[in-house]
Amino acid sequence: MFVLGIESSCDETAAAVVANGREVLSNFIASQVDTHRRFGGVVPEIASREHLEKIDAVVVAALDQAGTTLDQIHGIAVTQGPGLIGSLLVGVNYAKGVALALGLPIVGVNHIEGHVYSTVFEYPAPEYPALALIVSGGHTNLFLLPGPEKYKLVGRTRDDAAGEAFDKVAKLLGLGYPGGPVIDRLARRGDKRAVIFPLAQINDPEHRLDFSFSGLKTAVLRYVREQAIAQVEDADDSPQQILDLCASFQNAVVRALVRSLRKACEIYSPRTIVLGGGVACNSELRAAVAELAEEQRVPAFIPSPVYTTDNAAMIAAAGTPKLLRGDNHGMQLMADVTLRLQNVDVEDPKLRKKVRYRL
């Protein structure tokens, strides 16, 4: 089965052709980073306009790269949500137009489920139960997967997503946008123990795996003011104080993420650990998750960087099982910024009761 995937939830216009849910025939991405860099973040209206300008050419490029035509496509999978409404509408409506013109089935895919599926191109099917840590600029969530396409949200951020915290700290230091890659690069030359930032403590037993990064962001701001640290003009020529601050901040984020993941391992005894989302590109996080998995004696599925950022291949992969079942959302498919993953009830072995979480 050849599936055309379309992704436009934020600022990446992407299309891909995936065969049988696992073989990537093409994965074309048009980034808007240069457009939004001067604003220090994504401007929703500008993002949706760029999607409109690029989406047709991106789909054509993906088909050409795959050596296929629309006549060879068996179904379409498109990001339905969550995301920016203007951006989502471009992708959904384009996909519906193609599906209507060619009489193809179409399914909407949850963007976060796409990140869970980002490992299928390089790893075998996970053994269940599995834990999936999805970390990006808009989402920081920890899921228990009792089986295929079954999700229980066991941890989420209470405030800023991890990627958002990276962007805000980078802006504070004058490092530019996006903040994650530049902080990761500079942190390699810094001392991560130079500044010990506290981690948020969440005492609610029903939400003890949650994350919080607003306090960390405030702690960085306070440190910058106390030390009278000025913004840098050239990130690659940053003084040692900035390098140490980047390393210390990044280490605090990674410690917070891995702390909750470790607790989840103690509770649920997973047989696979999955890491996904844009922040999964971070070198320290990748190493820390791999080390934890080794401690737990379970495999860590950590996708290559090209599959961690927003891409359409993961959307096609997540949509393939739905299309194989005969699902077809048709012209009733609508963009949904509040789209939730199906959240199954699973007994929490520590609480001895069923707890339902919402994404």
Query: What are the pLDDT digits (tens) for 135-164?
Result: 988 889 999 999 999 999 999 999 989 999
Is residue 185 domain-shared with residue 59, that is, in the same domain? Answer: no
Q: How confident is the model over 94-146, as pLDDT tens digits? A: 999 999 999 999 999 999 999 999 999 999 999 999 999 999 888 899 999 99
Q: For residue 104, give the CATH number of its domain.
A: 3.30.420.40
10 lies in a domain? yes
Q: How confident is the model over 233-282, as pLDDT tens digits? A: 899 899 999 999 999 999 999 999 999 999 999 999 999 999 999 999 99
Is residue 111 domain-shared with residue 145, that is, in the same domain? Answer: no
341 lies in a domain? no
87 lies in a domain? yes
347 lies in a domain? no
346 lies in a domain? no
Is residue 133 domain-shared with residue 259, that is, in the same domain? Answer: yes
| Total number of domains in the chain | 2
- Note the pLDDT of residue 354: 40
352 lies in a domain? no
359 lies in a domain? no
Is residue 136 domain-shared with residue 274, that is, in the same domain? Answer: yes
Is residue 59 domain-shared with residue 25, that is, in the same domain? Answer: yes
Is residue 44 domain-shared with residue 163, that is, in the same domain? Answer: no
Is residue 137 domain-shared with residue 109, that is, in the same domain? Answer: no
What residues make up the domain containing 284?
126-302
Give ∠ CA 181-185-191 in degrees, rounded to 5: 130
d(CA 322, CA 236): 46
Q: What stretch of H or E contains 18? A: strand 12-19
Is residue 183 domain-shared with residue 261, that is, in the same domain? Answer: yes
Phi, psi for residue 333 in degrees, rounded to 5: -60, 130
Is residue 170 domain-shared with residue 230, that is, in the same domain? Answer: yes
169 lies in a domain? yes
pLDDT band at 50 (very low <50, low <70, confident <90, very high): very high
Two tokens, residue 47: 């993002």
Is residue 298 domain-shared with residue 312, that is, in the same domain? Answer: no
Task: Give the predicted TM-score (pTM) of the model.
Answer: 0.92
Helix (H, G, I), strand (E, B) or coil at 191: coil
Is residue 67 domain-shared with residue 92, that is, in the same domain? Answer: yes
Is residue 194 domain-shared with residue 261, that is, in the same domain? Answer: yes
User: Which residues is 130 bridged to in the sheet?
Assistant: 145, 272
